[in-house]
Structure 1
Amino acid sequence: MDKNAAYPEREQGHEKADELRRFTKLRQRKYLNNIVEQDHRRIKRLVRPGLGFKSFRTARRTIAGYEIMAMVRKGQVAAIPANDMPAQATFIATLFGVAA
């Protein structure tokens, strides 16, 4: 959680919040949002020229494809090396059910 004022450090008068507070600790780190924003910067740059999507279904499928390609490119898929293009193409084809 970042240090935004919308996340107060204490909530007054909530019994369940007091019980929850005994077992958890609120950690406020401003840099955590930056990690997420840096990861999605490429996707934002790809979506913006498309001028939006006509339906939620189209948006979901397109962004899922962008996310998968970014994961493969960054080497986050353990079974596929980042520089093995034929293996990446086969993996994407099996994920989306298309012929490679």
Structure 2
Amino acid sequence: MLGAVKLLKAKENDINGIVKIMFQPAEEIGLGAKDMIEDGLLENPKVDAAFALHVSPDLEVGKFGYKPGVAASSLDGFFLKIQGKGGHSSELQKCVDP
């Protein structure tokens, strides 16, 4: 992303409009974009288009891919409660392996 910033800055006079560069914190837990938008990121000035960048290990080094629309899955989570009677490996007969 910093490389893109450097290239865009070098062409600043050739760009018609305003470019915002956004580094999203907490991306892996699904909170970063929400907090950034609530803090007004897409306003002052208003954002007309947005592009996201993510690591894609299946692409050859030096290449990038582009896809209009949604290009990634959503983030969901769940809690799993496992119950059982633990114990020590020296007395497995007294344990219920959860």
TM tier, shorter chain? under 0.3
Higher relative contact order (CA 8 A, sep 6+): 1
The normalised TM-score by structure 1 is 0.24
Larger radius of gyration: 2
Task: Kindly indicate which of the two structures has a greater share of residues assigned to helix.
Answer: 1
